[in-house]
Amino acid sequence: MAETTSDKLSSAFMTEFLRNAGGTAIIDGGLATELERQGADLNDPLWSATCLLTSPHLIHKVHMDYLEAGADIIITASYQATIQGFESKGLSTDEGESLLRKSVEIACSARDNYYDRCNTSIPVETPDGKIFKKRQILVAASVGSYGAYLADGSEYSGNYGDSITLEALKEFHRRRVKVLAESGADLIAFETIPNKLEAKAYAELLEEENISVPAWFAFNSKDGIHVVSGDSYSECVSIAESCRNIVAVGINCTPPRFIHGLISSIKKVSTKPIVIYPNSGESYDADLKEWVQNTGVSDDDFVSYVNKWCEVGASLVGGCCRTTPDTIRAIYRTLSKREENHSL
């Protein structure tokens, strides 16, 4: 298939952004666990999206914490925000759509506030470790899977049952994706994609609705070979490779130990930039709806992986569940050292 003008614009967008970032860009870390640390109660089917209703100021604060830790991309609090989910709480369709837009507005506001602080801050890094470096920052509108809406842990299994078809998934996501695409976000982050069917639904939806906003696909895996449903990881990545809107493809919410091999799998079937933001490696108990303590890796171990991931091809790196601003700050520092070493 010949490359169209829009294809070139999409690929140029990410190429230019990565060039401005020095070759590697930093994504933020876990949102929900940070909101809980700030005092938010997320025991709700909407999970982190409940804060759009109850405590948007906490979302703003977490975005700021990640920007001050060195993140170049902040991801909105819309992962589990769906029109259907809001309607189940008694909200109207218009109110649900307004909350989707609000997730982007909060992130954009945090970026503006951060830029203001950069303009008034003299040191690039303060004694308490806050980074005030004026740079291009992207707001990525998060789209979680159908399984995330179900809030039953099925985004970690990819098992939606035989009744969920390609068309059903497209219709579930259609209006939400359109609203987020028109919200002012710089890109759309399709996250924790658990199966090939949903990846195909996203790709077809982007084409059918002629969405012009760039996007990335991030799949999750529990064995380093397949996505969590058991579908071939390489086949899933191939869907992203053939989609003109997709400017990066990779992995999120996956234990760090599997990432190196998965990057190799991506490179065999895709030429797009590789996005990597694993979880801390901790195990999640879907029945208890909580993380199993002491099953993950330390920040030091997590960051030690980052250089290796970049060496084998990762261009965008960050963290997912249970990673913190401290994790992202450590990534910022290790990548800064890496750039200094390469420039010597």
Is 321 one of the annotated binding-site residues? yes
Is 51 one of the annotated binding-site residues? no
d(CA 196, CA 214): 20
**112: which residues sit within 8 A by CB, 6+ positions away?**
none
Phi then psi for residue 150, to 5 deg, are -65, -25
Is 253 one of the annotated binding-site residues? yes
**Start-end of H helices in the chain:** 5-20, 32-37, 50-54, 56-67, 83-88, 93-120, 146-150, 166-181, 196-208, 233-241, 259-269, 299-311, 325-343
Element (H, E) at 315: strand 314-317
State the DSSP string of 234-277. Answer: HHHHHHHHT-TTEEEEEEESS-GGGHHHHHHHHHHH--SPEEEE
Element (H, E) at 291: strand 290-291
Q: Is 21 exposed, middle or buried (0-12, 13-18, 19+ CB in 10 A)?
A: buried
Pairing of strands 25-26, 73-75: unpaired
d(CA 308, CA 68): 24
Distances (CA, A) of 79 to 61, 176, 241, 303: 18, 11, 23, 25
Q: Indicate the annotated binding residues for Zn(2+).
A: 253, 320-321
Q: Indicate the annotated binding residues.
A: 253, 320-321
